[in-house]
Amino acid sequence: MNDFIKILDKNGLVFAFLVVGVIMYLSYYVSKKLTNSKIPGAAIAISVGLVIAYFGGEKGVASIPAFSGMALLGGSMLRDFSIVSTALGASFHEIKKTGWVGFIVLVLGTVVAFLVGGSIGYAMGYTDAKSFATIGAGACTFIVGPVTGSALGATSDVIAISIAIGVIKSILVTIATPFVAKRLGIDNPQTAMVFGGLVGSTSGVSAGLAATDVKLVPYGALTATFHTAMGCLLCPSILYFIVQLFLS
């Protein structure tokens, strides 16, 4: 048994291909047979991923030795590489059509998430400017939270909360997007770009859109990645200064 696990661990990436392949196959099967394709196979597969992550540790299922390769397959390098490759399906013409709204939603999405997140933190006892800004930044994405927190010198428990908020956001966006996409009108490249810019969580947006309509992924992902950039830029600077005016 131990030798067996050693082989899996040593060939982690290859084993991860097998694991994900099996998850995908079963999910698409369930989607087709049990839900009549109403719930997309990709959405089921991603949810299965989240559920098995719960049984792992800090790195999800990759904390279990045999599954260490999942961290490489799902790590930032291959994730970003495959996100970039989806740009091949995006047309410059469609991107241009979104125009100035694309930029406005980037700023607005950051400000709204920051204020809403920070205010809830404030209401629950995190009343100093640094904690407000860090928790608010976490409501942008789980990258903006720790970047802001460490830039401002926030305490580590507040930084941990900001990461948790970002992760909850990305999970929520992943699960909710396919269900609310129709009602929000997310069915063309322009709304997908507005959606990505407002919501921001790159992993959530691209996973959620993948489960909704794969053709929309590059558009949503494009603005979503700039949302993280905008958050890293605004949260520890202008937005923090504004908060400081009111809370110190």
Partner 1 sequence: MKIYGVAILAACFLVGHMVGDSLGRAFHLSGNLGGVGFAMLLLVFANDYFKRNNLIPAETENGILFWSSMYIPVVVAMSATQNVKAALSGGWVALLAGIIATAACFILVPIFSKFTKK
Site for partner 1 in 188-217 (CB under 8 A): 190-191, 193-195, 198-200, 202-203, 206-207, 210, 214, 217
CA gap 50, 245 in Å, rounded: 40
Cβ-proximal residues to 144 (8 Å cutoff; 6+ apart), any chain: 137, 138, 166, 228, 231, 232, 235
Side-chain half-sphere CA neighbours of 73 within 13 A: 19
Q: Is 39 in the site for partner 1 (CB under 8 A)?
A: no
Q: Which of 8, 31, 62, 130 binds partner 1 (CB under 8 A)?
A: 62
- Which residues are 57's β-sheet partners? 60
| Binding footprint of partner 1, residue count (CB under 8 A) | 114
Of positions 39, 66, 107, 108, contacts partner 1 by CB under 8 A: 108
Q: What is the distance between the terminal CA atoms of the chain, rounded to a whole angstrom?
A: 60
38: DSSP letter: S
Give me 217's structure tokens. Answer: 């992924």
Shortest Å, Cβ 152 to partner 1 = 11
Distance CA 66, CA 176 (A): 31
CA gyration radius, the chain: 19
State the minimum distance, in angstroms, from the CB of residue 133 to partner 1: 13
- Judged by CB under 8 A, the residue of 12, 31, 126, 178 near partner 1 is 126
Task: Note whether 111 binds partner 1 by CB under 8 A.
Answer: no
Stretch that binds partner 1, among 2-10, 30-38, 115-123, 239-247 (CB under 8 A): 115-123
| Binding region for partner 1 (CB under 8 A) out of 1-9, 29-37, 80-88, 238-246 | 80-88
Stretch near partner 1 under the rule CB under 8 A, chosen from 3-11, 30-38, 40-48, 238-246: 40-48
> How far apart, in whole angstroms, are the C-alpha atoms of residue 231 and residue 145?
9
Q: Which two tokens stand for residue 27?
A: 């999910």
Give yes or no for residue 243 binding partner 1 (CB under 8 A): no
